């Protein structure tokens, strides 16, 4: 999964990503409740079509815990997964623009239907409340101001990304 010097850095990055995802999951009790019935099952995420000129992305697998959170499976990712999520990563710039515009990249999902439905609910409903997290660090007034600034910047970036994503979609060849 991660090779050579990238092993330590890649593992550290995945541990941080897992902590962030679990922080967001734990902030919404409905999210963990939806995942709890799937405890012990694994979800694998794979980037398909990644350009060969770029360093390869690893497949990533997570096991659902009894608490309805995720644990990264590490390099020993299981082969028996309950849900396989394949992301079309053939154009990373377009994927990034779509994400900034609030749109999902093209994905294919295979596996257990109930787990797929619950994961889809998570994608549609979970949001990270950064302002709430900042409040503990800088106080409520400063957190609110930083939140306003962040929302204004995000809105401008989202508007620009939507425009660029529209241009990218219109430039795609017709089937």
Please check whether the domain covering 6-127 is classified as CATH 1.20.1740.
Answer: no
What is the distance between the alpha carbons of residues 165 and 76, in angstroms, rounded to a whole number?
Answer: 37
Question: pLDDT tens digits for 120-175?
Answer: 888 788 766 666 666 666 677 776 676 666 656 556 555 655 565 565 556 566 55
What does the pLDDT read at residue 101?
Answer: 63
What is the band of 115 on the pLDDT scale with cuts at 50, 70, 90?
very high
Question: The sheet that has 42-48: what strands, in order across it?
Answer: 70-72, 60-64, 42-48, 83-88, 107-111
What does the pLDDT read at residue 151?
Answer: 57
Q: Supply the mean pLDDT for the chain.
A: 77
- H or E element at residue 85: strand 83-88
Instruction: Determine how β-strand 42-48 pairs with β-strand 60-64.
Output: antiparallel
pLDDT above 50 for 2: no
Question: pLDDT tens digits for 36-85?
Answer: 999 999 999 888 888 888 877 777 899 999 999 999 998 767 878 999 98
Domain ranges in the chain? 6-127, 129-175
Let me know: does 62 contact 73? Beta carbons within 8 Å.
yes
Question: pLDDT tens digits for 22-38?
Answer: 988 998 899 999 999 99
What is the distance between the alpha carbons of residues 100 and 82, in angstroms, rounded to a whole number?
Answer: 29
Which among 66, 59, 54, 72 has a CA at the least distance from the CA of 17?
A: 72
Q: How distant, in Å, are the alpha carbons of 21, 24, 80, 86, 92 from that of 53?
A: 29, 33, 30, 20, 12
Helix (H, G, I), strand (E, B) or coil at 82: coil
């Amino acid at each position: 999964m991660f090779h050579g010097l990238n092993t330590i850095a890649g593992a550290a990055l995945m541990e941080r990503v897992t902590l962030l995802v679990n922080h967001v999951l734990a902030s919404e009790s409905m999210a963990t409740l939806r995942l709890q019935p799937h405890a012990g099952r694994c979800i694998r995420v794979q980037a398909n079509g990644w350009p060969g000129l770029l360093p390869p992305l690893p497949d990533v697998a997570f096991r659902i815990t009894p608490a309805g959170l995720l644990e990264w499976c590490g390099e020993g990712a299981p082969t028996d997964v309950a849900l396989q999520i394949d992301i079309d990563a053939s154009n990373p710039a377009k994927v990034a623009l779509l994400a900034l515009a609030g749109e999902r990249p093209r994905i294919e999902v295979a596996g257990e239907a109930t787990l797929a439905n619950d994961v889809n609910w998570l994608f549609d409903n979970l949001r990270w409340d950064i302002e709430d997290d900042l409040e503990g660090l800088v106080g409520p007034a400063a957190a609110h101001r930083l939140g306003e600034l962040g929302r204004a910047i995000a809105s401008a970036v989202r508007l620009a990304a939507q425009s660029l994503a529209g241009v990218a979609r219109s430039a795609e060849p017709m089937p």
